[in-house]
Amino acid sequence: MRIVPFDVPGHKRGRGNPELVRLLGEQCVGLDINSMKPLDNLCHPVSVIRDAEILAAEAFGAAHCFLMVGGTTSSIQSMILSVLKSKDKIILPRNVHRSVINSLILCGAHPVYVNPEVDPRLGIPLGMRLDQVRQAIIKNPDAKAVLVNNPTYYGICSDLRSIVALAHSYGMLVLVDEAHGTHFYFGDNLPVSAMEAGADMAAVSMHKSGGSLTQSSFLLLRQPEREGYVRQIINLTQTTSGSYLLLASLDISRRNLALRGKTEFKRVIDLAEYARCEINGIGGYYAYSRERINGDSIFDFDVTKLSVHTLDIGLAGIEVYDLLRDEYDIQIEFGDFGNILAYISIGDRKQEVERLVGALSEIRRRYRKDKSGMLSQEYLAPKIAVTPQEAFYAPKESLPLGDTQGRICSEFVMCYPPGIPILAPGEEITPDILEYIRYAKEKGCSLTGPEDPDIGRLNVLK
């Protein structure tokens, strides 16, 4: 059927922008269309988008699934804004993605942080211990919700089932950041998914392990009666021109996972296991896995995550990350002080894994050095002074980084990726944090967050 377009987008199937067609191809620009009756409307889905939502909810075992086009950031923000109002409390680990704390700035809720344990050998923040969550709940019985990372960027999972049971017994909702856990819904021998564990909502990055286009995401909901309200919350910040490229990519990826997810993720797991085995065979590197499980702060481990500890060859993770890209044309997901993460997914093949392993072995041969003087701690427990919203909007002044010790920061500082704040608005700037920032700069981490792009100055409360 040929429809004559007298609506937006103005490129009119690409005719008005031939360069764009050359860049993206006819099929791609032809899919870039606007909401219309036959194609439904993301803000109020009643037909084809609704069908896609129902199919996705079924695939993920949720009562409802929202198709999201503002990244998993938008899923997380909508999830939090739908359960918290100003001054409400939420219990959460501090090693959350910036989007979580951003949501608290937006709604004015108060965070109650559970400080994650840090693995003494790897330096990475772990999951929340059940006992810590219980204490936080008992101390804050008025909290509305508990938020859990499932898994963390490094693949670490908390005891989600028990946390859900505990929170529910105190009448609190459980929200799950599942940005790195889409595959949990489809693969065998993977950690439990949020919906299966009985959590109330989950933000799922389909564009990460699910294979859809960047910026597309799912928000899962377990209670059907909240659908209408959650939709209203989503519509507070979501575009009214949802991209059909993103929506179509979500739907077709959901289909792929539902049909082939199980076998595909089996292959991904086998590839990751193979890579781990080979990398550990090189010597010096430690590609960790289930052996780190301790029944509590590492309740489970996502074996598709190829996290490798690099400090024993005398190189920071970020240095290995840079060497892989600059010297070996290999782009990995992130490198921090002591670890790298290579993202293994449904798009990987053995030959690429061989290249990665070959390059790591070469990096060890050519660049290894003494490891003295290297920082390993990826996480510093924050000192909270005021809530994120209060700090963000408070009267502030800009100071050179060196003069900020002891002051309260009004903005974020983080390495991106992974995007977990070193400092969030309302937290005190300690000597350890200043040292962390200095070291991160020296090692070449991409620091983001502050108004000053060079991170030479920070905004602090007056």
Q: Contact positions toward other proteins, by CB under 8 A?
A: 278, 281-282, 327-329, 350-351, 354-355, 357-359, 361-362, 365-366
C-beta of 325: minimal distance to other proteins in Å?
A: 12
Rounded Cα gap, residues 304 and 455, in angstroms: 34
Residue closer to other proteins by CB (options 15, 365) is 365
Residue closer to other proteins by CB (options 354, 435) is 354
C-beta of 94: minimal distance to other proteins in Å?
A: 38
The H or E element spanning position 451 is: none
Backbone angles phi, psi at 244, to 5 degrees: -70, -20
C-beta of 256: minimal distance to other proteins in Å?
A: 22
238: which DSSP letter? Answer: S
C-beta of 347: minimal distance to other proteins in Å?
A: 15
β-pairing, 173-178 vs 305-309, is: unpaired
Rounded Cα gap, residues 77 and 87, in angstroms: 16
C-beta of 279: minimal distance to other proteins in Å?
A: 11
Q: Is 108 helix (H, G, I), strand (E, B) or coil?
A: coil
Where do runs of H (alpha helix) occur along 140-243?
Answer: 160-169, 227-237
Report the DSSP beta bridge partners of residue 166: none
Rounded Cα gap, residues 426 and 409, in angstroms: 6
**8 A C-beta contact, residue 420 and residue 455:** no
C-beta of 349: minimal distance to other proteins in Å?
A: 10
C-beta of 323: minimal distance to other proteins in Å?
A: 11
What's the token pair of residue 153?
């960027």
Residue closer to other proteins by CB (options 361, 448) is 361
Amino acid residing at 28:
C
Q: Is 40 helix (H, G, I), strand (E, B) or coil?
A: strand
C-beta of 333: minimal distance to other proteins in Å?
A: 19
Residue closer to other proteins by CB (options 88, 322) is 322
90's CB contacts (< 8 A; 6+ apart) are 80, 83, 84, 104, 109, 110, 111, 112, 143, 144, 145, 146, 147, 175
Count of CB atoms within 10 A of residue 226's CB?
18
C-beta of 121: minimal distance to other proteins in Å?
A: 26
Residue closer to other proteins by CB (options 283, 456) is 283
For residues 310, 316, 322 and 328, what is the CA-based torsion angle, rounded to 10 degrees?
-30
C-beta of 20: minimal distance to other proteins in Å?
A: 23
C-beta of 329: minimal distance to other proteins in Å?
A: 7
Residue closer to other proteins by CB (options 281, 402) is 281
Residue closer to other proteins by CB (options 2, 366) is 366
**Cα–Cα distances in Å, from 106 out to 7, 64, 84, 102, 395?**
34, 25, 10, 6, 17
Residue closer to other proteins by CB (options 142, 329) is 329
Residue closer to other proteins by CB (options 362, 390) is 362
User: Burial code of 100-120, b = ≥16 C-beta within 10 A, e = fewer?
Assistant: bbbbbbbbbbbbbbbbbbbbe
Residue closer to other proteins by CB (options 101, 271) is 271
Backbone angles phi, psi at 377, to 5 degrees: -75, 115
Backbone angles phi, psi at 428, to 5 degrees: -75, 140
Residue closer to other proteins by CB (options 350, 369) is 350
